[in-house]
Structure 1
Amino acid sequence: MKKDNILEVDNLKVSFKTHSGEVQAVRGVSFDLKKGETLAIVGESGSGKSVTTKALMGLLPKPHGYIKEGSIMFDDKDITKLKDKNMQSIRGKELAMIFQDPMTSLNPTMKVGKQIMEGLLKHQKLGKEEAKKKAIELMNLVQIPNPEARMKQYPHQFSGGMRQRVVIAMALACNPRILIADEPTTALDVTIQAQILELMKDIQKKVETSIIFITHDLGVVANVADRVAVMYAGKIVEIGTVDEVFYNPKHPYTWGLLGSMPTLESDEEELFAIPGTPPDLIAPPKGDAFAARNKFALEIDFVEEPPMFKVSDTHYAATWLLHEDAPKIEPPESVKKRIESMDHSEEAKR
């Protein structure tokens, strides 16, 4: 493993056995994660984002879901080779996950304080009083007011935003080195969403954990991530720093995602939508999986899968448009307008 990497995923392939055949949900995904970095993985539903993170956590539903190929290096060991028992000692302690809906992550019959203390008692081997003290500290860290009293309450006595804070406190209980946040703000309204994202950025500075942030919303990414990986049909089609992917996108699918983002100026114009639907991954298409939905597709897109072309040392995209012999095609006007409006809002923040 490279010195500053905490995680290295190489050629990960994950499949599911179904009555209709093998669903190739993740088809050769490679990326790394640095210490203290936030990597966002974005894409439509069904692009393989959540399956990738479930594979990282060893949470694929067995026997139907399985890792077909590839490696996940963490702490200089390939965790795909670990037995369930060994994975359990890593999960929660070294790798923790925040799920989309806090209500499904919390036990409705158990007091919130006890649920936060559970990980501390199991993984940190703390005594009851110590665990209670640490749970109150964690509730303070995630900005839950009056934690001593709220420890004794049940999940239904908390609002959606406060429940998500409890889930974040539970995930942070064992000082995980990697925190995976799977669409952690989707179930919340916009104002609470912004508060939770701000909270996660703030916590990251304090505890120096690395974060993998899963979302279908590119707008969320701009404020939280250092780097972005764009996924489509089980593959990463573009990866780079936030600025590279937002202000110099190269893949037509990234153009589509950016173009469909609403902005404050977009009330007069039509919202752009990517035509068609993602392909059936029981029988993935030949060539570029996005070709059928891509109005800029070249003939070769329907025949041969594009490799990852290097745009810069940190920016890569899998599109034949980057080939030296390809016609020079610019992003559509709607995408350029989005980029300009994002530029203005960034300036306004400064």
Structure 2
Amino acid sequence: MTKETILNVENLYVDFHTYAGNVQAIRDVNFELHKGETLAIVGESGSGKSVATRTLMGLSAKNADVRGDILFKGRNLNTLEEKDWVPIRGNEIAMIFQDPMTSLDPTMKIWRQIAEPALIHDEDLEYDEAFEIAVHLMEKVGILDAREHANDYPHQWSGGMRQRAVIAIALAANPEILIADEPTTALDVTIQAQILHLMKDIQKQTESSIIFITHDLGVVAGMADRVAVMYAGKIVECGTVDEVFYHPQHPYTWGLLGSMPTTNTESGSLQAIPGTPPDLLNLPKGDAFAARNVYALDIDHEELPPMFKVSDTHYAASWLLDERAPAVTPPDFIQQRWEQWKELKRRQK
């Protein structure tokens, strides 16, 4: 049964007008988010992940030119004035930012920052009630002795505790969509696992939808239901987590998977993607990944590939999927994943 679509992004473009020229940060991005699911958006730094999600929150910079449709509850968020965002931002759509130390006000007590969204969206809320809400949220995100630490300041807390506080702030108004912008980047592996487990538990309790931004495919495997792979401002592959991990079709996805260690990885076998991402001020003709793609065809340097359908839930923008394309043998580790995919499909029958 198909889940209800809660957010639909159609033909989204974001350009930044700078003295150096026009930066094409987001180029024709399309995706939908279903109720209660986690959609992971992955890619290298500079691929457009954070720009796309900040646009969903109406947080684009003043020099940004945003075009396209962001459809949420019958409204196009891209047409809203700033005043129209007040009942939405932090209330219906909330965001967990990447660095908790810069997200928290060093001069304000922790409980006050956690309670602030509730105070903003409920003018009749008393401060003692807000304090109790903050303590409850602190306990909900696993902060021990919450009442005793409610009056602490951010510098008194560890990185993991601060990240939990930022999650509590995002949850204060019980949002329907939670956007997590690399929330575990600055944390060690043990705390990272705790935070990811916490987010999954909260999602089960609240039935919220999560957009999870990361460059770490290892995190995606245990967190996401669906995955969108971004490169140079475009989504180049999207599908279920199993489809992207075990039946990847785009050479860029192959490169990302090849650089990710697994329990089967042999010493010295990790592979780096050659070259560097393109300059978004001067994008090359054709496929932006062509210069780094050892499997690139002549047409990749001339024409941008469309999204080819692999299955009802899996699409990839690669000319290798065109029926006229020559047969290409992917790397051994991708062939191994394809074999695992066949076995998964066999078991599902």
Q: Per the shorter chain, which TM-score range? A: over 0.9
Distance 1:20 1:302 in 2: 25
CA contact (8 A) 2:246 2:337 kept: no
CA RMSD of aligned residues (A): 1.9
Matched residue count:
341
Residue among 69, 72, 85 paired with 1:71 = 69
Residue 300 of structure 2 corresponds to: 301
CA contact (8 A) 1:287 1:301 kept: yes
Residue 171 of structure 2 corresponds to: 172
Distance 1:338 1:149 in 2: 50
Residue 32 of structure 2 corresponds to: 32
Residue 51 of structure 1 corresponds to: 51
CA contact (8 A) 2:247 2:337 kept: no
- AA of the residue aligned to 1:332: P
Q: How many Å apart are 1:152 and its aligned residue? A: 1.2
Distance 1:3 1:184 in 2: 26
Spell out the pairing of 1:185-334 with structure 2 (5 A cutoff): 185-266=184-265, 268-334=267-333
1:187-219 CA distance string (max 9 Å, x none): 111111111011100110011111000001111
Q: How many Å apart are 1:45 and its aligned residue? A: 0.6
CA contact (8 A) 2:90 2:173 kept: yes
CA contact (8 A) 1:96 1:176 kept: yes
Distance 1:195 1:20 in 2: 43
CA contact (8 A) 1:251 1:319 kept: yes
Gaps of 5+ in 1: 345-350
Q: Which moved more, 1:228-237 or 1:86-95?
A: 86-95
**Within the alignment, does 1:94 sit opposite 2:92 as a pair?**
yes
SS, match of residue 282 in structure 1: coil
- AA of the residue aligned to 1:32: E
Distance 2:329 2:168 in 1: 45
Distance 1:77 1:3 in 2: 20
**Within the alignment, does 1:110 sit opposite 2:108 as a pair?**
yes
SS, match of residue 59 in structure 1: coil
Q: How many Å apart are 1:159 and its aligned residue? A: 0.7
Q: How many Å apart are 1:73 and its aligned residue? A: 0.5
1:9-37 CA distance string (max 9 Å, x none): 00000010111100000010000001111
Distance 1:124 1:340 in 2: 54
CA contact (8 A) 2:246 2:340 kept: no
Q: How many Å apart are 1:337 and its aligned residue? A: 5.4
1:276-335 CA distance string (max 9 Å, x none): 011111121111111110000011111111110001100000001111121222330144
- AA of the residue aligned to 2:117: G
Q: How many Å apart are 1:117 and its aligned residue? A: 1.2
CA contact (8 A) 1:272 1:334 kept: no
1:36-72 CA distance string (max 9 Å, x none): 111000000111100001110111111x1220x2110
Spell out the pairing of 1:94-173 with structure 2 (5 A cutoff): 94-125=92-123, 126-173=125-172
**CA separation of 1:108/1:342 partners in 2, compared to 1, >3 Å: closer, same or farther?**
farther
Q: How many Å apart are 1:342 and its aligned residue? A: 11
**Within the alignment, does 1:82 sit opposite 2:119 as a pair?**
no
Distance 1:287 1:185 in 2: 35
Residue 347 of structure 2 corresponds to: none
SS, match of residue 249 in structure 1: coil
TM value normalised by structure 1: 0.94
SS, match of residue 136 in structure 2: helix
SS, match of residue 231 in structure 1: strand
- AA of the residue aligned to 1:59: L
TM value normalised by structure 2: 0.94
- AA of the residue aligned to 1:284: L
Q: How many Å apart are 1:343 and its aligned residue? A: 11
Gaps of 5+ in 2: 344-349
CA contact (8 A) 2:45 2:215 kept: yes
**CA separation of 1:343/1:212 partners in 2, compared to 1, >3 Å: closer, same or farther?**
farther
CA contact (8 A) 2:230 2:236 kept: yes
Q: How many Å apart are 1:120 and its aligned residue? A: 1.1
Distance 1:331 1:225 in 2: 25
Distance 1:339 1:167 in 2: 39
1:236-259 CA distance string (max 9 Å, x none): 000000000000000000000000
**CA separation of 1:325/1:190 partners in 2, compared to 1, >3 Å: closer, same or farther?**
same
Q: Which moved more, 1:293-302 or 1:267-276?
A: 267-276
**CA separation of 1:274/1:4 partners in 2, compared to 1, >3 Å: closer, same or farther?**
same
- AA of the residue aligned to 1:233: A
Residue 15 of structure 1 corresponds to: 15
CA contact (8 A) 1:263 1:338 kept: no
